Every structure is written in structure tokens, then in C-alpha cells.
Amino acid sequence: MTVGLTVDDVRVTLGDNEVLKGVTLHAEPGEFVTLLGASGSGKSTLLNVVAGLQDVDRGAVLFDGVDVTRRAPRHRKVGVVFQSYALFPHLTVAENIAFPLHAARRPRAERAATAQRMLDLVQLAGFADRKPESLSGGQRQRVALARALAADPAVLLLDEPLAALDKQLREQMQVEITRIQRHVGTTTVAVTHDQVEALTMSDRVAIMHDGRLVQCATPEELYRRPADEYVARFLGEANLVEAHGPDGRSPVVTGTAVVRPEDLQLVDADTPAGRWVFEGPVQLVSFQGSRYRLELLAGHAGTILCSLPPHTDVGALSPGVHARVACLDPGLVHVIDHRRPALDHVPEVVA
């Protein structure tokens, strides 16, 4: 089973703290959407709202257009993978996975068959009779995922699913979770503060900041055309430069240009000064393996960060030397237009 998920203008106040300030989000059936944000941005609260574990002050949650806002968690048909995995320590792996079927009073034979099928899906066949305490972190993660999916939920919710794993295992599980999600096709909402995780696993990423959803778009769209300065800085590194008028000469500041460090390259002194050319004394050159990192102090624009390919000849660049960098393809520069009123949610781009 898979449904389209709609969160409509949800507001949540905890004590004096407005945690969600009107969040609207839509996920198509089968889509993988990740909520990405710093801690305190409200992303986990939003996940709990979808799960039914958090009441809302206003707004609605809809599964395929059906309002489930007042429905108890156990009647929502959601599968949740908690950060701690929340496996029942006194039950075996198979009993854990069959728990939702037990709750739904399914016959014993069906429970056993489903547990077996889910164990195969997460590649843990042979672990059925083990207790959670004898499993590694990655294995527990898989069991939690299998249990969440066992009753064929309408929506799969992942709360920081990989936070407790070490880096290597995390990368492996990112691929694994994506594979399983594609296989079962369940609409999925994940929460993370790890941008690589969000970009790797998701169809779309929703950036949360201070109780609001700032932008929800495909990873490429978010990176190339961030809705505001927060998104531009949050995802990767960005030079934010004042942008003037349509021709670049107007004195009126009309927006902020986002120039990605890797879109800049070293240019000769005889390159004509243009809109996306920066020059000034070098502040720092450092070799970082796959890239050189160069920082210029470029007048009004402030510090400009530039990421150069590793074969660049940087022999002449030492701190204090005057250098010139440019983005030669203006199409790579995105201007955040301040003349347009800020939107709470940017219209979605249908892929």
C-alpha cells in the first residue's frame, strides 16, 4: 500500500515555544522525501505529527486526501524507524518483525511467513531467533526497518535512522535503505541533519529552519537554485554576493547571487571585468586532496571562496598576491530575488 501524503499548514506549540509555524508539504505516492535541518528546526516534530505521536494546534495531515489528523497512531498504518530503533528487547528478531501483525490479530502462519519474507528483504535470513541485544547496530537498524514495513504501512517514517551508526556503515545503509524503499514503493519521510544522507537517499529534500519549511525540491534544484540565503549556505558552500539590477549596473540591490566555489576558476588579468569576476589579495591557499581551497578578499564582495581542481598550478598564489577568479558561465549563478515576496513554500517542481 502506498499513499500520497499531505501536511497542510500544521502548527504546533510546545509550552511557549512555537515549534512548527505553519508547515505545508506534499509527497507523491512512493516518493522519498527527507526533512533536513539543524536541531531545533522542527523536523522531528513534523515527523511525529505525521505518525500521530504529536497533536497539532492547527492544520491537517491527509493520507490520499483522507484527513487522519485526529486518528490515533495505531490506526494510521504508519511504520516508524526510531533513532534508537526501539526494538523490544524481550522478543526475538522474528517476533519483533511480526509485532504489527500480532497487533492486527493476523494468524500465526501469516506472521511467520511475513517475518521470513521481511528478513529476506533486509538480508537477515537466519537471524530470526536471535534477541536484539546480540545484534550489531547495523543489524538492529535492518530489523527496525523490517518491522516498520511488515504490516505494509501507508507511510514509512524514518527518524534519524542512521545517526547511531559509524560513517562507513552509514554510507552502506544509505544505499540499502534506498534499495528497499524503491523495492516496496512505500511513501517515505525521513528526518536527518546530515546533508549527504539527505541528498543520497531522497527524491526531494525539504529544508526546515526555525519551524518553517523553507524549500522542498530535488537535491539538484536545492543546490542550484536555493530559495534563500539560508538554504544556499546550509547545503554545501556558497559565496553570497549582492546582486544589482538586471544589467548588473543598477545601484539598487535587487537580490543575492549564489556563486558556488567550484564554479569559479582562475582567470588572467586581461580578462574583462564582468559581473561575476572577483579580484583581490589571496588570503589562504590550502590543498585538500581532491581540491584546492582558495580564499580571496574581494573588495565589497568580502571573502570569496574558490574551489579549484587539484591539477591547478597554484605556485604563484601565496597569501597577499593579487588574484582574479571568475564564473564564466552566468547560467551557473543563481540570483535570489528580493523583490519577490518571500514564499512560505516554493511551488514544487514536478520531475
Partner 1 sequence: MNPPLRRALGHWRAPVCVLAAAAALLFYVPFLVVVATSWTGGEFVLFPPQGFSLRWYASVLGDPEWAQAFRTSLWTSAVATAVAVVIGTLGALALSRLRSRTGRRLLRTLFIVPIAIPPVAYGAGLYLVNIGSEPLYGTFVLFVLGEAVLGAPYVFVLVANRLEQTDPTLHPAAATLGASWPMILWRVDLPLVLPSVLRGTLFAFVVIFDEVVLSVFLVPVGGRTLPLQMLGASQEAFSPQLTAASTLVSVVAVAALALFGLAARIRKDPP
Positions that interact with partner 1 (CB under 8 A): 51-53, 72-80, 82-84, 86, 88-90, 99-100, 102-104, 131, 147-148, 151, 157
Comparison of 17 and 172: residue with beta carbon closer to partner 1: 17
Q: How far is the CB of 74 from partner 1 (least distance, A)?
A: 5
Residue 51 or 189: the one with the smaller Cβ distance to partner 1 is 51
- In the complex with partner 1, the residue whose CB is nearer, 102 or 275, is 102
Alpha carbon distances (Å) from 343 to 11, 14, 136, 209, 252: 17, 25, 45, 14, 22
> Quick one: 81 or 267, whose CB is closer to partner 1?
81
Q: For partner 1, which is the closer residue by CB, 160 or 295?
A: 160
CB 173 → partner 1: shortest distance, Å? Answer: 19
Within a 10 A sphere around the Cβ of 326, how many other Cβ atoms? 22
**130/3 Cα distance (integer angstroms):** 33
Task: Compare residues 136 and 250 and give the one whose CB is closer to partner 1.
Answer: 136
Instruction: Tell the smallest beta-carbon distance from residue 100 to partner 1 (Å).
Output: 4
- Which residues on adjacent β-strands are paired with residue 336? 256
CB of 240 to partner 1, least distance (A): 39
| Cβ proximity to partner 1, 77 vs 260, nearer residue | 77
State which residue, 163 or 314, has the beta carbon closest to partner 1: 163
The CB-of-146 to partner 1 minimum distance in angstroms stands at 12
Min. distance of Cβ 286 from partner 1 in angstroms?
41
Cβ 44 to partner 1, closest distance in Å?
12
> Among 273, 261, 278, which Cα is nearest to 325's?
278
